[in-house]
């Protein structure tokens, strides 16, 4: 009775990527995310104009519709805003700030939430009860309300907003991490390393944490998207970033007053950029969630 | 009626040769005369049935040219290891295949009527009425939201129209038929209020509801304890004899098949390799595969002997490293492993609200389960102690306490006079001299770690090997458990169950333990793989001079591997002693019942 020969060596990551590609929508969405990240990172190289260098701005070109050829000699493909900025350039620079805020706040929330969640699950007892009740309490409030109150308290500024966003969002990570880690903690392979025995730090970092990652990656993608949306909302309301750091939300807000006078492009195009970014990130997140959901496994 | 010509079907042959079974040879006395009228036309005729699964990776020929026929009231066993196609054969007959599974060719005739290719609604009219099915896991087949009575009612209405009052009466009668006590009350119960055996009885009651001519049972007793299995087997035998129903009993377990079936078909790789009357196949097997299966069973071998079919050419384990701190305060007057008045309770955590309600006297305290109740045992150096019990007996909990995974509520475990757990509020394991092998090799290895890292991790953390020597050390252990050392870089999902269990054994032994706690290490493996793992454990135990605590529900495996045995029932040890003595002369009433419940294979 021969034993079957094990399949060719494939790392879990390679397997995951092969499965991911089965959904064409998700691959396209991932492409969009990567493209947007790319243009955001290389905005100074891609944009026809540095929209925040006042020397570049010509007030004569203000509020021109898409396709207008400005005094600098190039076409403003998305038009210009009230200060005569090229909107396309402004959107690229806005994406840069929005993505930066989303990613930094998201990672901060991830680190804080996962540390608390996994820690609570591993420690158990009073600590678990205390941490998780605080998290539950916070989840009872809408994230936008918390972020609004916090950013009002902390004042304007990049750092302050990042802190507010992370504090409003860590609870989602803590909940998910706690659930996953509690499930993993009871599994045989964790009991096996507990009976070896291995030091607690190693059990948590090498065994429990990596196996909690799949659901956390899903939450992370969705939360980055929601951090971007949250930041845009706060900036739109005027409590987010200072005017010197115009994110997509502020661009929308700036154009809002012209909406009814027919100059739709000042608000609409940053809005479309924001929607495309968030939808693309969510589609990628959805695909990953489907993949890590054992119920959908064939 | 004589024995028909038997033997292998030519694989993929164009002309199917149904294997003619003689009519019931034994237990036929209770058959009514009406069943004997049409004995010459088979009830079910399966010829050259082939079911393939068209997956992306290629075509899986799950069933590949199976032919047999079944007469009215006959009981046929369909035996094979996992992946042999025995369950898919059952599903194909009843038309319950999910894509990408498809019947490729062949025919299934029920009383001359072709079932393959029948429209879905006509098949539905047959399913549950003429042919019904009982599945392995009764928890999965009963709807947890409906009472037993409602579920039986739904099954009734599928094929007849009945009034509300009649529905209830019929449901009660159905429960009474499968020997469920107090059916008038039980009919209003929900599935979770029933035990596993009771749930399976309900599933059987539903299968019998419309007096089908054929019942297909797919591993119906595999998830059940041995004593419940014995009850179900006896009842099933009586019921089919009473009702004249034919039965296809699908199982991996030769012994249960032997105790219920008249005929048996042995399947492998989607084909029937051997078929014939049970006694003949099991006592004088013709096909080498059947012989191999029988030779793999520990119940047929001399205790402690290597099993014939599990032989492997494995390398010797790496030399034992000198232990740094060989117990300083060893006490000669104590046995090697001491388990003293160990107890463990499990209680659900109650929240703040529940505590308040409890204080106010609105609710009582949550029920606690005394998993282990003051157990005292000892194991001598080099001895193998078998811990036997049914599910819920507390044997696994006791094993985890000995292994230092759970801290006991009371009592303590000592190895060589040293405590296994640290004292204090948050006790943790301090010794590395006790290691554990778990039941499910799929769950006991970290899925995100290469197996080489899993094996090396413990020895590295405890300084048994240096980082430079780790790869060689891992390779030596992989060779010692019969795996290719080149597999070290692979992930657990790339191995079969048996191979994973070898990895788990290598991981436990690479810590150079003196005592190994084996928690059902062969329970989830196929018979032939089980034999290989048993042989591996026998050999390594001898070479390394290990002391074993071997936990199992399988009495034959324990008898084969262990010197001494302790029987556990409801958290207590009811009997313990040398294996031969306990098996031959059980003193405790529970032990006697347990031993009597084990199905026995006929011996030549």
> Which tens digit of pLDDT belongs to each residue from A186-226?
888 999 998 888 988 999 999 999 889 888 988 999 899 99
Measured CA to CA, the distance from residue B3 to residue B497 in angstroms comes to 38
Average pLDDT value for residue range A82-86: 82
pLDDT at A294 over 70: no
Residue B273 contacts residue B285 (beta carbons within 8 Å) = no
CB contact under 8 A, A6 and B495: yes
Interface test with B, best of A13, A120, A186, A196 (most B CBs within 10 A): A196
Chain A partners of B434 at a C-beta cutoff of 8 Å?
195
CB contact under 8 A, A191 and B438: yes
Question: What local confidence, expressed as pLDDT, does residue A136 receive?
Answer: 93
Average pLDDT value for residue range B264-289: 92
Average pLDDT value for residue range B93-111: 88
In the three-class reduction of DSSP (H, G, I as helix; E, B as strand; rest coil), residue B537 is classed as helix
Q: Residue B41: which pLDDT band, with cuts at 50, 70 and 90?
A: confident
pLDDT at B352 over 80: no
**Distance, in angstroms, between B282 CA and closest chain A CA?**
19
CB under 8 Å to A154, separation ≥6 — which residues? Answer: A160, A161, A163, A164
**Poorest-confidence range of A38-52, B125-139, B362-376?**
B362-376
Measured CA to CA, the distance from residue A94 to residue B75 in angstroms comes to 76
Q: Residue B327: which pLDDT band, with cuts at 50, 70 and 90?
A: very low
Question: What local confidence, expressed as pLDDT, does residue B505 receive?
Answer: 94
Shortest CA distance from A212: residue in chain B: B448
Per-residue pLDDT tens for A150-198? Answer: 988 988 888 999 999 999 999 999 999 999 999 998 888 999 998 888 9
Question: What local confidence, expressed as pLDDT, does residue B323 receive?
Answer: 58
Which of A195, A202, A211 is the closest to B461 by Cβ? Answer: A202
Question: What local confidence, expressed as pLDDT, does residue A20 receive?
Answer: 87
Residue B514 contacts residue B548 (beta carbons within 8 Å) = no
Chain A partners of B440 at a C-beta cutoff of 8 Å?
188
pLDDT at B333 over 80: no
Residue A174 contacts residue A116 (beta carbons within 8 Å) = yes
CB under 8 Å to B492, separation ≥6 — which residues? Answer: B442, B445, B446, B447, B449, B451, B454, B500, B503
A13 at interface of B, judged by CB pairs closer than 8 A: no
A261 at interface of B, judged by CB pairs closer than 8 A: no
Which of A1, A195, A199 is the closest to B436 by Cβ? Answer: A195
Chain B partners of A11 at a C-beta cutoff of 8 Å?
491
Residue B477 contacts residue B318 (beta carbons within 8 Å) = yes
User: Which residue in B242, B353, B270 sits closest to B89, CA to CA?
Assistant: B270
Alpha helices in A42-157 (DSSP H): 43-46, 87-123, 125-139, 143-154
What whole-number percentage of chain B has pLDDT above 90? 41
* ipTM for the complex shown: 0.77
A197 at interface of B, judged by CB pairs closer than 8 A: yes
Exposure class string for B574-587: b at 16+ Cβ within 10 A, else e: bbbbebeebbeebe
What whole-number percentage of chain B has pLDDT above 70? 89
Residue B243 contacts residue B213 (beta carbons within 8 Å) = no
Chain B partners of A3 at a C-beta cutoff of 8 Å?
496, 498-499, 529
Q: What are phi and psi of A140, to 5 degrees?
A: -75, -20
What is the reported pTM? 0.81
User: Which residue in B389, B312, B429, B430 sits closest to B570, CA to CA?
Assistant: B389
Question: What local confidence, expressed as pLDDT, does residue B8 receive?
Answer: 38
User: Between B136 and B153, whose confidence is greater?
Assistant: B153
CB under 8 Å to B423, separation ≥6 — which residues? Answer: none
pLDDT at B5 over 80: no
User: What are the angstrom distances between the C-alpha of B321 and each of B298, B509, B511, B513?
Assistant: 33, 12, 10, 11
**Distance, in angstroms, between A89 CA and closest chain B CA?**
44
Q: What is the DSSP letter of B251?
A: E
CB contact under 8 A, B491 and A192: no
CB contact under 8 A, B438 and A211: no
Question: What local confidence, expressed as pLDDT, does residue A33 receive?
Answer: 94
Average pLDDT value for residue range B282-286: 90
Measured CA to CA, the distance from residue A122 to residue A185 in angstroms comes to 7
Shortest CA distance from B512: residue in chain A: A196
Exposure class string for B110-125: b at 16+ Cβ within 10 A, else e: beeeebbebeeeebee
CB under 8 Å to B111, separation ≥6 — which residues? Answer: B41, B43, B213
**Distance, in angstroms, between B493 CA and closest chain A CA?**
9
Question: What local confidence, expressed as pLDDT, does residue B349 receive?
Answer: 67
Which of A7, A10, A199 is the closest to B461 by Cβ? Answer: A199
A214 at interface of B, judged by CB pairs closer than 8 A: no
CB contact under 8 A, A6 and B309: no
Question: What local confidence, expressed as pLDDT, does residue B54 receive?
Answer: 85
pLDDT at B573 over 50: yes
Assign residue B512 a region: left if phi > 0, alpha if psi is -120 to 50, beta otherwise? Answer: left
Tokens of B509: 């032994």
Residue B375 contacts residue B341 (beta carbons within 8 Å) = yes
**Distance, in angstroms, between A136 CA and closest chain B CA?**
14
Measured CA to CA, the distance from residue B546 to residue B562 in angstroms comes to 12
**Distance, in angstroms, between A238 CA and closest chain B CA?**
42
Interface test with B, best of A129, A195, A210, A213 (most B CBs within 10 A): A195
User: Which residue in B372, B436, B439 sits closest to B405, CA to CA?
Assistant: B436
Q: Residue B287: which pLDDT band, with cuts at 50, 70 and 90?
A: very high
Shortest CA distance from B56: residue in chain A: A298
Per-residue pLDDT tens for A225-277? Answer: 999 999 989 888 888 888 778 888 888 888 888 888 888 888 889 999 999 99
A12 at interface of B, judged by CB pairs closer than 8 A: yes
Which of B444, B494, B507 is the closest to A6 by Cβ? Answer: B494
Interface test with B, best of A1, A18, A183 (most B CBs within 10 A): A1
Interface test with A, best of B55, B289, B406, B446 (most A CBs within 10 A): B446
**Most confidently modeled range among A60-69, A254-263, B34-43, B337-346:** B337-346
Tokens of A122: 């591993």
Q: What is the DSSP letter of B294?
A: H
**Distance, in angstroms, between A200 CA and closest chain B CA?**
10
Q: Residue A8: which pLDDT band, with cuts at 50, 70 and 90?
A: low
CB contact under 8 A, B447 and A12: yes
Question: What local confidence, expressed as pLDDT, does residue B314 receive?
Answer: 63
Per-residue pLDDT tens for B408-452? Answer: 999 999 998 888 988 877 788 888 899 999 988 888 999 888 999
Question: What local confidence, expressed as pLDDT, does residue A138 receive?
Answer: 92
Average pLDDT value for residue range A111-130: 91
> B549 - beta bridge partners?
B385, B517
Per-residue pLDDT tens for B163-196? Answer: 888 899 999 999 988 888 888 888 898 888 888 8
**Poorest-confidence range of A54-63, A88-97, B13-22, B557-566?**
B13-22
User: Which residue in B110, B44, B52 sits closest to B78, CA to CA?
Assistant: B44
Per-residue pLDDT tens for B215-238? Answer: 999 988 888 888 888 888 988 888
Per-residue pLDDT tens for A61-79? Answer: 877 888 888 777 788 888 8
Q: What are phi and psi of B101, to 5 degrees?
A: -75, 140
pLDDT at B581 over 60: yes
Q: What are phi and psi of B155, to 5 degrees?
A: -65, -35
CB atoms < 10 A from the CB of A155, how many?
Answer: 11
A11 at interface of B, judged by CB pairs closer than 8 A: yes
Question: What local confidence, expressed as pLDDT, does residue A116 receive?
Answer: 95
**Distance, in angstroms, between A9 CA and closest chain B CA?**
6
Positive or negative, the Cα torsion across B433, B434, B437, B438? negative
Q: Residue B309: which pLDDT band, with cuts at 50, 70 and 90?
A: low
What is the rounded average pLDDT for all residues in chain B? 85
Instruction: Using an 8 Å CB-CB cutoff, list residues of chain B that contact chain A.
Output: 292, 309, 400, 403-405, 428-430, 432, 434-436, 438-440, 443-449, 457-458, 461-462, 487, 489-491, 494-496, 498-499, 504, 507, 511, 517, 528-529, 532
Question: What local confidence, expressed as pLDDT, does residue B356 receive?
Answer: 78
Cα radius of gyration (chain A):
23
Question: What local confidence, expressed as pLDDT, does residue B436 receive?
Answer: 94
CB contact under 8 A, B428 and A198: no
CB contact under 8 A, A9 and B494: yes
Question: What local confidence, expressed as pLDDT, does residue A2 receive?
Answer: 40
In the three-class reduction of DSSP (H, G, I as helix; E, B as strand; rest coil), residue B498 is classed as helix
User: Between A52 and A295, whose confidence is greater?
Assistant: A52
Measured CA to CA, the distance from residue B150 to residue B143 in angstroms comes to 10
What is the rounded average pLDDT for all residues in chain A? 86
pLDDT at A44 over 80: yes
In the three-class reduction of DSSP (H, G, I as helix; E, B as strand; rest coil), residue B115 is classed as coil
Chain A partners of B498 at a C-beta cutoff of 8 Å?
3
Which of B487, B507, B517 is the closest to A6 by Cβ? Answer: B487
Shortest CA distance from B98: residue in chain A: A298
Q: What are phi and psi of A130, to 5 degrees?
A: -65, -55
Beta strand pairing call for B246-251 and B214-218: parallel
């Amino acid at each position: 009775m021969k034993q079957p020969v094990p399949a060719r060596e494939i790392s879990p990551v390679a397997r995951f990527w092969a499965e991911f590609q089965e959904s064409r929508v998700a691959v396209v969405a991932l492409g969009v995310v990567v493209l947007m990240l790319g243009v955001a990172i290389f905005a100074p190289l891609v944009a026809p104009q540095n929209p925040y260098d006042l020397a570049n701005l010509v007030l004569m070109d203000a509020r021109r519709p898409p396709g207008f050829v400005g005094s600098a000699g190039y076409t403003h493909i998305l038009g210009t805003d009230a200060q005569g900025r090229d909107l396309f350039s402004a959107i690229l620079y806005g994406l840069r700030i929005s993505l930066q805020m989303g990613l930094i706040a998201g990672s901060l929330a991830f680190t804080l939430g996962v540390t608390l969640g996994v820690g609570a699950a591993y420690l158990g007892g009073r600590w678990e009860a205390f941490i998780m009740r605080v998290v539950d309490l916070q989840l009872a409030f809408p994230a936008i309300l918390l972020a609004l109150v916090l950013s009002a308290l902390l004042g304007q500024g990049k750092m302050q907003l990042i802190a507010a966003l992370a504090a409003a969002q860590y609870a989602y990570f803590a909940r998910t991490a706690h659930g996953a880690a509690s499930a993993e903690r009871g599994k045989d392979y964790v009991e096996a390393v507990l009976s070896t025995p291995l030091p607690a730090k190693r059990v948590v970092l090498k065994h429990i944490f990596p196996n909690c990652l799949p659901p956390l990656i899903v939450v992370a993608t969705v939360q980055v998207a929601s951090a971007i949306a949250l930041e845009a909302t706060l900036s739109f309301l005027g409590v987010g970033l200072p005017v010197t750091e115009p994110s997509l939300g502020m661009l929308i807000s700036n154009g809002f007053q012209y909406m009814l006078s027919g100059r739709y492009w000042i608000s609409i195009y940053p809005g479309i950029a924001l929607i495309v970014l968030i939808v693309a990130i969510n589609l990628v997140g959805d695909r990953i969630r489907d993949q890590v959901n054992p119920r959908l496994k064939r | 009626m004589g024995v028909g010509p038997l033997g292998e079907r030519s694989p993929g042959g164009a002309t199917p040769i149904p294997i003619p079974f003689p009519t019931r040879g034994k237990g036929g006395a209770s058959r009514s005369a009406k069943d004997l009228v049409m004995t010459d036309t088979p009830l079910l005729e399966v010829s050259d049935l082939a079911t393939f699964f068209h997956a992306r990776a290629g075509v899986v020929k799950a069933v590949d040219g199976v032919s047999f026929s079944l007469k009215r009231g006959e009981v046929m066993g369909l035996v094979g290891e996992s992946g042999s196609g025995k369950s898919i054969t059952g599903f194909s007959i009843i038309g319950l295949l999910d894509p990408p599974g498809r019947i490729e060719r062949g025919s299934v005739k029920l009383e001359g009527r072709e079932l393959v290719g029948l429209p879905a609604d006509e098949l539905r009219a047959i399913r549950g009425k003429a042919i019904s099915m009982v599945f392995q896991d009764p928890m999965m087949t009963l709807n947890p939201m409906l009472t037993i009575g409602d579920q039986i009612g739904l099954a009734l209405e599928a094929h007849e129209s009945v009034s509300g009052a009649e529905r209830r009466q019929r449901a009660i009668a159905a429960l009474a038929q499968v020997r469920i006590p107090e059916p008038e009350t039980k009919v209003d119960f929900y599935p979770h209020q029933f035990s596993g055996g009771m749930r399976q009885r309900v599933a059987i009651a539903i299968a019998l509801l419309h007096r089908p001519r054929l019942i297909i049972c797919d591993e119906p007793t595999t998830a059940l304890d041995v004593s419940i299995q014995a009850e179900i087997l006896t009842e099933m035998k009586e019921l089919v004899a009473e009702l004249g129903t034919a039965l296809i009993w699908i199982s991996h377990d030769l012994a249960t098949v032997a105790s219920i079936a008249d005929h048996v078909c042995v399947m492998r790789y989607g084909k029937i390799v051997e078929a014939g009357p049970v006694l003949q196949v099991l006592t004088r097997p013709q096909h080498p595969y059947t012989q191999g299966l029988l030779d793999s069973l520990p119940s047929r071998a001399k205790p402690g002997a290597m099993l014939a079919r599990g032989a492997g050419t494995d390398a010797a384990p790496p030399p034992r490293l000198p232990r740094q701190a060989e117990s300083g305060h060893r006490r000669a007057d104590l046995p090697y492993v001491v388990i003293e008045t160990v107890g463990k309770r499990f209680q659900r955590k109650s929240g703040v609200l529940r505590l308040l309600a409890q204080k106010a006297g609105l609710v009582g305290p949550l029920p606690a389960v005394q998993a282990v109740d003051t157990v005292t045992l000892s194991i001598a150096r080099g001895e193998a102690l078998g811990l036997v019990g049914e599910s819920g007996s507390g044997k696994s909990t006791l094993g985890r306490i000995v292994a230092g995974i759970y801290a006991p509520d009371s009592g303590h475990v000592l190895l060589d006079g040293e405590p296994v757990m640290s004292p204090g509020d948050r006790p943790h394991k301090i010794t590395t001299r006790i290691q554990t092998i778990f039941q499910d090799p799929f769950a006991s290895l970290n899925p995100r770690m290469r197996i080489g890292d899993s094996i090396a991790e413990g020895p590295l953390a405890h300084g048994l090997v240096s980082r430079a020597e780790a790869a060689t050390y891992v390779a030596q252990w992989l060779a010692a458990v019969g795996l290719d050392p080149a597999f070290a870089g692979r992930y657990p999902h790339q191995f079969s169950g048996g191979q994973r269990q070898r990895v788990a054994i290598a991981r436990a032994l690479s810590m150079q333990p003196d005592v190994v706690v084996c928690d059902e290490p062969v329970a989830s493996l196929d018979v032939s793989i089980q034999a290989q793992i048993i042989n591996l454990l026998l050999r390594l135990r001898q070479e390394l001079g290990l002391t074993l605590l071997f936990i199992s529900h399988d009495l034959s495996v324990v008898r084969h591997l262990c010197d001494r045995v302790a029987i556990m029932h409801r958290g207590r040890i009811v009997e313990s002693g040398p294996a031969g003595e306990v098996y031959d002369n059980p003193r405790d009433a529970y032990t006697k019942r347990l031993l009597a419940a084990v199905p026995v294979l006929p011996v030549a």
